[in-house]
Amino acid sequence: MHTVIGLEIHVQLRTRTKLFCSCNADYFAAPPNTLTCPVCLGMPGALPVLNERAVELALRVALALGAKVQETSRFDRKNYFYPDLPKGYQITQREFPLALGGELSFRMDGERRSVRIHEMHLEEDAGKLIHTDEGALVDMNRCGVPLVEIVTEPDIRSPKEAREFLRALRTLLRHLGVSNADMEKGELRCDANISVSADGELGTKTEIKNLNSFRAVERALAAEEKRQRELLGRGGPVEQVTFGWDEHTGTLVLQRSKEEAHDYRYFPEPDLVPLVVTPDWLARVREEMPELPWEREERFMREYGLSRKDATILIEEPARADYFEEVARACGSPREAASWVLSEILRYWRDEEPPIGAEALGRLITAVKSGKISRTNAKEALEEAISSGQDPLEIVEERGLSLLSDEGELRRLAEEVVAENPKAVEDFRAGKKGAIGFLVGQAMRKSGGRADAKKLSQILLELLGSS
Ligand code: ADP
Ligand code: ZN
Ligand code: MG
């Protein structure tokens, strides 16, 4: 049986003000109902004025996806009643959306996938209900916050692919600087449509609303895929219904059947003129486009000689890619920088800020390269620097972690080890060349990991009379 999935994705655009008024759009930590005005509260007679910046951010997304920007688009009213919607309608674009077509390519299990975009349009967000023991409270701060809705074609073939598509989209949105696209904060939300069929024709789809984590997208779709497969297996028809998803119990919650489907009575928004994107305006937006993630990935491979795999991980987050480039500049060795960032830094990177400054890491890598400190001890100093905030080279200094490369001291160490391990020495002389490793290890331990391993084994070989 074939699974077919299409997504409708809402992305909050990072503007200073809301889509149709000058209220602050940064509602996340604001006290309830402090960021409102007559326009976003839908007071009679208040008139919306379109936010130019929101249009530009949406255009960036359209250009990045290769969509066809419509020179003239229009706003419509979508009418419905809900306590978080004070106007009784949402301003959206239904008949004439901002852009048509486009696609997003990404890699999954080493394979190239591509999902076509049907259309994308601008719309305003609604408020929020806060459920308490005494009843539901309403917070209007989010009313009128700008969203771009991206609707895909039904090109996705599995729940996992839906998740990977969304990840790739988040990476793109972050590189474009149009949104933080944090699903946990509701900056990226997804409604998922899914159908299953035996014959390759499009089957009847169901919809799962308001998925707000990557995990939820994959799990909810997997649950619904399973349900539809079983239903079809028993010969029963799939009905066109809408579900919610309960992440705690991992279950689909029926929200409405086809008969209960809303009639939104869309009509053109009479208070806004059509949106005209002139070729000049579009050209300006194009000029300001930042480097796209897939362009950056190719550049990392070309310019720094990184593998595809490493480059892909580094560009996943723009902050990560920026950090890598700063470290590379600071130490002059991009491949070393990539290796340290991927193997050491990512384990500790939790917040937006990297766990240690790029300059400090760059200096540490330089010290390893120039033989001032062993890799093992550098990692130890780095770990301590990350937990204490101290400079790693200061830690190396204070704790005497720098590389022991003084000939005399190394020789003394080697002589001690030779005297203390007659068995290994005998083995070596009898032809078991591997015994040298044991002796180096013993000397290493004595030095607290600081001995210059290369010089040390040279001296040992010399003492044992084999060089
Ligand atoms: P509706 O009119 O019900 O809103 P649309 O045609 O606008 O449906 O499509 C909404 C979303 O559902 C799109 O993302 C689209 O790709 C997806 N979709 C459409 N048909 C199917 C199907 N048969 N199976 C899965 N997804 C579908
Ligand atoms: Zn307002
Ligand atoms: Mg639709």
358-369 and 318-331 are packed helices; what angle lies between their axes, rounded to 10 degrees?
Answer: 40
Residue of 8, 121, 193 with the most ligand 1 atoms within 8 Å of its CB, for mutation: 193
Q: Is 244 in the pocket of ligand 1 (CB under 6 A)?
A: no
329: tokens are 């500049």
Dist CA 445 CA 448 (whole Å): 5
CB 395 within 8 A of CB 381: yes
* Position in ligand 1 atom list of the atom nearest CA 193: 26
pLDDT band at 41, cuts 50/70/90?
Answer: very high
CA angle 253, 259, 262 (to 5 degrees): 80
- Please give the CATH number for the structural domain made up of 407-466: 1.10.10.410
Tens-place pLDDT, residues 415-456: 999 999 999 999 998 888 888 899 999 988 888 888 888 888
Helices (H) and strands (E) in the chain, counts: 15, 17
pLDDT band at 94, cuts 50/70/90?
Answer: very high
Tens-place pLDDT, residues 351-405: 888 999 999 999 999 999 988 888 888 999 999 999 999 999 988 888 777 777 7
352: tokens are 């937006």
CB 35 within 8 A of CB 24: yes
Domain residue spans of the chain: 2-282, 293-398, 407-466
* pLDDT surpasses 70 at 467: no
* pLDDT surpasses 60 at 227: yes
Tens-place pLDDT, residues 269-326: 999 999 999 999 999 999 999 999 999 999 999 999 999 999 999 999 999 999 999 9
Tens-place pLDDT, residues 172-199: 999 999 999 999 999 999 999 999 998 8
pLDDT value of residue 374: 83
pLDDT band at 466, cuts 50/70/90?
Answer: low
Q: Ligand 1: which residue has its CA nearest to atom 11? A: 6
CB 416 within 8 A of CB 447: no
CA of 402 to the centre of ligand 3 (A): 64
CB 25 within 8 A of CB 179: no
| Torsional class of 286: left (φ above 0), alpha (ψ -120 to 50), beta (otherwise) | alpha
pLDDT value of residue 55: 98
CB 20 within 8 A of CB 91: yes
What is the sign of the dihedral through the CA atoms of 413, 419, 421 and 425? Answer: positive
Q: Is 205 in the pocket of ligand 1 (CB under 6 A)?
A: yes
Q: Which residue has the tokens 């579900």?
A: 243
Specify the DSSP class assigned to residue 428. H
* pLDDT surpasses 70 at 346: yes
